[in-house]
Amino acid sequence: MAKQAIGILETRGLIALVQGSDAMLKAANVQLTGPMKGVGSGLVNAVVAGDVAAVKAAIEAGAEAAGRLGEVVSAHVIARPHEDTDSVIPKSTAKRSAK
């Protein structure tokens, strides 16, 4: 999957982020770029990558699902990010097993 866009979902509280992340991954062909990160003061975020339309759809679905359980602080899509943004985006270290 080419990384043509990245999307960031930030919530206050882990439960809302888990629900939002689940909705993002089910709504579109995107993948988490790394583990969910705690920012502080109860803020947590997750980053997804994929093509622009898929990331937009995923972020919309994730923000809606997370908003039902908690507070969505930010939901943002960056289309065609500069390659240097990789230095600040979490890297995925988990390998998925084939089912």
Nearest CA among 75, 71, 80 for reference residue 24: 75
The residue with tokens 């043509």 is: 4
CATH classification at residue 70: 3.30.70.1710
Does residue 92 sit within a domain?
no
Q: What distance lies between CA 4 and its chain's CA centroid?
A: 14
Helix pair angle (52-69, 14-27), 10° resolution? 140
Instruction: State pLDDT tens for residues 76-87.
Output: 999 999 888 888
Residue 1 has pLDDT above 50, yes or no: no
Does residue 91 sit within a domain?
no
pTM of the full structure: 0.84
Domain, as residue range, for 18:
5-36+48-82
Instruction: State pLDDT tens for residues 13-51.
Output: 999 999 999 999 999 999 999 888 888 889 999 999 999
Number of domains in the chain: 1
Q: What is the mean pLDDT of residues 39-65?
A: 95
